[in-house]
Structure 1
Amino acid sequence: MGIRDVLSGVGSHYDRKLGTERGVRAQDLLREAPNELVSCVPSGLEIKASGGQGSATFTPWIGFYDPRETVSSQEGIYVVYIFAEDMRSVSLILNQGVSMLKRKHGIEGAIAILESTAQGIVHALPDDLVRRWRVDVDLKSSKSWRQRAYVAGSILVRDYELEDLPSEAELRADLREMVDVYRIAIDIKNRVPGDRGAEAVDRNAANYIANKVVGVRRFEEFKPKDSEAYRVFLKGRALSKGRNHERLVNDFAAHVQRGGFHPATVGASPRDLVVYRDEIEWLVEAKYVAEGNHREAVRQAIGQLLEYRFCLYGKGFYPCLIALFSEDVGDLFRQLLESVEICVIWRQGEEWSGSDRAKEWGFVSR
């Protein structure tokens, strides 16, 4: 199969309600796409495709990555075919990853960075080159933050109606040209100074976040103790773990495994649990809330998650953080945890509940 066959096949058969299982025609085509397209693209690119993880995505995609820049749609610049939600069109986009930015800045800050970076690169590209492409995209979707990020991160775009796709030769020529632009954009991103550079992008994002009304009141009592007190504190925590704690970890591990994630405890110590899916790792710290002492449980969870991330992971790799509780810790503490990019999940009777981030990642449904 060539590019035209793959795009047409996915567009004709994709149905989000059918899920992501093997045997679903469009999902199988997406899984086969990297092997089918390897001869259609310039050498040196990695190819990945997805129709969703766990649940099917609103906008399936096929991505092309230059390893000098990134090998994942989580960060950096990459080329991608993204299908519109109504499955009437597909767009070839020079786009940017959002996941890493979202962990650091939140979704609104990440979108500000994506938009600023896209504008800077477009301004630095030759005008005659830019005129050959669109600079905006409409995926016919407003369903989630991810689709918003695709739009915000788009640098250059070419749209195709699935009922009237160009010839295979034209599609290949467009993709080769986009890859050429991609490699220029990588160089621009790495060298452009001033108001088009990464420092300005980060500054714009910081200003955006600083001026955003988040509706969370400052919790001045949450301050770290001195190092000696902290070491004693951790020892006390280690000694206090018991059956309730282990039951909480084991039950949650079983829950996420049913949801298609891969939990692991062997080799994780002193971490309670790590969870994997595809290229993403989640670091989980579990707290059994004793006698309703939410404050102490939250303090321990924050301190340990940040300590483990700093001490146990290599520079530049940041696992997603999850604080797991035996009960709801209340609105104030949920907001505190989310303000430092820690996802919150808690036991709700026989079920699990969590923050919006937990729902977005697919760990809970409510």
Structure 2
Amino acid sequence: MLPNDLATIFKNKQKSYKMVLVLSFINHYEKTKSLTVTLNEIAESFLDYYRGKEELGFKIDLPPKGEASSWKECSLGQIRSLLKTPIDALSSIIEYNSLQQTLSFKSPVKQLLNERVIQELKEYAERELENYNNQLPSSSTGLDFSLQAVFQEVFNSYLEAKTQSFAGHRLGTLFRQTLPNELKKLPFMDDHYKIQGSIGMGNWATVPWLAIMDKRVTDTTQKGEYVVYLFSEDMSSVYLTLAQGVTVPTRDLGKRQGYNYLEQKVTEMRGLLPLQGMKKDDQISLTSSGLGRDYQVSTVAYYRYDRNNLPDDEQLITDLKNVMDNYRLYVERQTELSEDDQNSQMMGRIEPMDPQFIKPKLNEIKAFIKQNGFHYPDPLIENFYLSLKTKPFVILAGISGTGKTKLVKLFAESVGATGGNGQFTLIPVRPDWNDPSDLIGYQELSGRFKPGRLTEVLVTASLPENRNKPYFICLDEMNLARVEHYFSDLLSLLETQRWMDGQIVTEPLISNASLDRLEDQELYGDLGIPENVYLIGTVNMDETTYPFSKKVLDRANTLEFNHIDLTQLPWSEGDEEQESVKIAPVSQRFFRADYLNLVNVDAENKELVKRTTDKLVAINQILEEIHAQVGFRIRDTISFYSIYAERFGLLTENEAFDLQLLQKILPRIQGSHTSVKRVLLKLLKVCLEGESLKVNDLLDDASSLYSRWDVGKEAPAAKYPQSARKLAFMLRRLEEDGFTSFWLS
């Protein structure tokens, strides 16, 4: 709440001059942190406000009679004289030093001022100013400003603005706040419409836009149908279009099929709607880059307005109403669809990627890795892919020198993600990391936010033009420091994944409220983990590293690299005669999860989920003895992994469960008690299904059991061979060392 001395300063209105004077004062303070300002500086800021609004045709007070016919004609000398009236009106809080020609807040008021009070005073003045201006007489169009003047201002200033600082630029305020707020006042707008404008995200957009979306069919320009003003790259024209979002269809269907889908929709809408007076061709021309095709296939109909021949406001509003009438007809027809169709459309989820594409692509990836001199046993690459698709956090564990980091790098390169294009980032973890600031960033004493390397990648991956590209972050030797100390925020954030507008989103990693500067808020505010970012940690388990907590293990698949075949040579099996494998980039849809919750699972996969759950129930009964049971999170993850493995024909049901038992359950087991040994024996019995093992007889000495996996011997037949081998190793460690853990190497 504002102190009473400040809360009553606009009680008796003195035109709009008092509000603008206070805002000019606060703007100066925000730049200089000084509560004293020269009369000249106030006059310049005061005049800039009125001239700017006047150029755009907004409703504002005119200069006093006899001074000038417009603010453009006013001189600074005239403004200095004019300011005497509002200064006198605000004499209870402001004092004027005629000798030094300065203004400042009076001493009693200064004592009340702090950052919070100044911000509240600014919001109070802006609110009063907006209310005052809204009461001024309107134009014949019903708008409180000139749309023609706004367009002309964008044409005249945008190219020059692109050479200036992006953060806090007045054109950003115009597109994001002023224009949406003003257009909402038109009589044919209602609460169904979301109006949004953009000049870019962090950087200047090639094509600035202003969109009107009916929330019943879409609330994002990435999908669905909407009305949008699009300014050409060279600022020679602006198009008013009935258009479609391109991002989701081309991401989910691929570019070629996505274009086909958009073109079919254009044909359908042109046949359905009158579109009277609008052009219905593909001659829309906005950019000199590859984006042009996107606009051509997605535009249903349009008006084109040239810079040197802009219609007047009445014609611009008449055209907008015509487009909105057509849009309303389309939306009304869409809302007649069945509830199931509506839900599907609002989710924005088109068909998942064709399963027949997956296996050939993975074979191509394996060939690329082998061509680069590395060989990994089957089905490691398939396992790595399925783990990433199930959850975007994977741990690669094992002894040093087994190629864990190299696997991540080569795998990323094989799908077009390299260090050169910024889609692969290696972040070495330091032993002194003890909080998230090393990864995420921190706010300096100056108030400037200094981003961590991970945050920089998240910002890049979040840009609309990058949403369809996978980004890989490799945290090298991530357990040199305690993972829970520096990584816990990200782990928690991964659990907030949900569908929104056809994309998987999380809660913010960095909130707007935690950032002081506007430019930092625009770049990093409300930044979450986008669905196209994949986190892979490599770990060496030795005396120099830290163990993992269950919180970490629950959220990751742990792939182990401990069994090495040194006979694998890069030139074996005639590799030198094979054709060179070319890198073929893939879209984000290749990796994106199809499910986040079991409720989303298709009917044909429910039996597989039930069988998997039954197996886990039996496993949990065994783990209960050492309080290592798994919960819903692991049940869901293992179910999703099994569904993908079966759908893509990569693993059998038993092979998939074997790997998940190895990667999601066995890492949780460690200890020295007899109860731990009993659990290991019972789990090994499950893996060797069909064998008559007497657990109690093996509690004293299990060497006859685990010695079956001695080097040089053929491993015994098992239902779950990978897990059986690991369990035998853990049993040996327990008997020989008195302690066992998944992580002992």
Please say whether Structure 1 and Structure 2 have the same fold, judged by a TM-score greater than 0.5.
yes
Q: 1:31-180 residue pairs with structure 2 within 5 A?
A: 31=176, 32-40=178-186, 42-44=188-190, 45-125=193-273, 129-135=274-280, 136-145=282-291, 147-180=292-325
**What SS does structure 1 have at the residue aligned with 2:324?**
helix
* Pair 1:259–1:165, CA change in 2 (3 A): farther
Partner of 2:18: none
Stretches of structure 1 that go unaligned for 5 or more consecutive residues are 265-272, 291-304, 343-366
* Pair 1:159–1:341, CA change in 2 (3 A): farther
**What SS does structure 2 have at the residue aligned with 1:80?**
strand
**Larger RCO, structure (CA 8 Å, separation 6 or more):** 1
Partner of 1:363: none
In structure 1, give the amino acid aligned to 2:164: L
Output the CA distance in 1 between the equivalents of 2:255 and 2:214: 25
Q: 1:175-254 residue pairs with structure 2 within 5 A?
A: 175-188=320-333, 218-219=364-365, 222-224=381-383, 243=429, 253-254=440-441
In structure 2, give the amino acid aligned to 1:86: D
* Pair 1:163–1:278, CA change in 2 (3 A): same
Do residues 29 (structure 1) and 216 (structure 2) align?
Answer: no
* Pair 1:57–1:261, CA change in 2 (3 A): farther
How far 1:94 sits from its partner (Å)? 0.4
Kept in 2: contact 1:79–1:94 (CA 8 A) = yes
* Pair 1:341–1:137, CA change in 2 (3 A): farther
Output the CA distance in 2 between the equivalents of 1:189 and 1:177: 19
Partner of 1:14: 158
Supply the RMSD in Å over aligned alpha carbons.
5.2
* Pair 1:172–1:336, CA change in 2 (3 A): closer
Partner of 2:498: 313
* Pair 1:262–1:73, CA change in 2 (3 A): farther
In structure 2, give the amino acid aligned to 1:313: R
Partner of 1:288: 475
* Pair 1:81–1:341, CA change in 2 (3 A): farther
Output the CA distance in 2 between the equivalents of 1:113 and 1:153: 9
Output the CA distance in 2 between the equivalents of 1:51 and 1:171: 21
Q: TM-score, normalised on structure 2? A: 0.33
In structure 1, give the amino acid aligned to 2:189: S
Partner of 1:295: none
Output the CA distance in 1 between the equivalents of 2:208 and 2:277: 25
How far 1:105 sits from its partner (Å)? 2.4
Kept in 1: contact 2:473–2:536 (CA 8 A) = yes
Identify the structure with the greater strand proportion. Answer: 1
Kept in 2: contact 1:74–1:100 (CA 8 A) = yes
Output the CA distance in 2 between the equivalents of 1:261 and 1:8: 41
Stretches of structure 2 that go unaligned for 5 or more consecutive residues are 1-144, 339-343, 367-378, 400-426, 443-448, 478-490, 506-530, 539-580, 593-745
In structure 2, give the amino acid aligned to 1:42: F
Output the CA distance in 2 between the equivalents of 1:206 and 1:120: 25
Partner of 2:146: 2
How far 1:48 sits from its partner (Å)? 1.0
* Pair 1:19–1:205, CA change in 2 (3 A): farther
Output the CA distance in 2 between the equivalents of 1:262 and 1:337: 21
**Percent of pairs with identical residues:** 21
How far 1:159 sits from its partner (Å)? 0.6
* Pair 1:119–1:277, CA change in 2 (3 A): same
Partner of 2:590: 340
How far 1:317 sits from its partner (Å)? 4.2
**What SS does structure 2 have at the residue aligned with 1:85?**
coil
1:141-177 per-residue CA deviation (whole Å, 9 max, x = no partner) reads 13244x4323221011111112211121111111111
* Pair 1:51–1:149, CA change in 2 (3 A): same
Kept in 2: contact 1:14–1:27 (CA 8 A) = no
* Pair 1:279–1:154, CA change in 2 (3 A): closer
* Pair 1:173–1:150, CA change in 2 (3 A): same
Kept in 1: contact 2:209–2:231 (CA 8 A) = yes
How far 1:61 sits from its partner (Å)? 0.8
* Pair 1:235–1:323, CA change in 2 (3 A): closer
Kept in 1: contact 2:428–2:476 (CA 8 A) = no
Kept in 1: contact 2:353–2:589 (CA 8 A) = no
Partner of 1:299: none
In structure 1, give the amino acid aligned to 2:227: V
How far 1:261 sits from its partner (Å)? 12
Output the CA distance in 1 between the equivalents of 2:149 and 2:260: 36
* Pair 1:162–1:280, CA change in 2 (3 A): closer
**What SS does structure 2 have at the residue aligned with 1:159?**
strand
Kept in 2: contact 1:82–1:91 (CA 8 A) = yes
Output the CA distance in 1 between the equivalents of 2:441 and 2:243: 36
1:239-273 per-residue CA deviation (whole Å, 9 max, x = no partner) reads 999945979x8666449x76899959xxxxxxxx8
How far 1:77 sits from its partner (Å)? 0.6
Bigger radius of gyration: 2
Output the CA distance in 2 between the equivalents of 1:69 and 1:262: 35
In structure 2, give the amino acid aligned to 1:223: E
In structure 2, give the amino acid aligned to 1:318: I
1:12-62 per-residue CA deviation (whole Å, 9 max, x = no partner) reads 211133353324x54343232112322236222221111111111111111
Output the CA distance in 1 between the equivalents of 2:353 and 2:429: 44
Output the CA distance in 1 between the equivalents of 2:186 and 2:317: 7
In structure 1, give the amino acid aligned to 2:504: Y
Partner of 1:354: none
Output the CA distance in 1 between the equivalents of 2:498 and 2:460: 15
Output the CA distance in 1 between the equivalents of 2:325 and 2:246: 22
How far 1:321 sits from its partner (Å)? 1.4
Q: TM-score, normalised on structure 1? A: 0.61
Partner of 1:346: none
Partner of 1:322: 533
In structure 2, give the amino acid aligned to 1:20: F
Kept in 2: contact 1:261–1:277 (CA 8 A) = no
How far 1:341 sits from its partner (Å)? 5.0
* Pair 1:190–1:36, CA change in 2 (3 A): closer
* Pair 1:284–1:84, CA change in 2 (3 A): closer
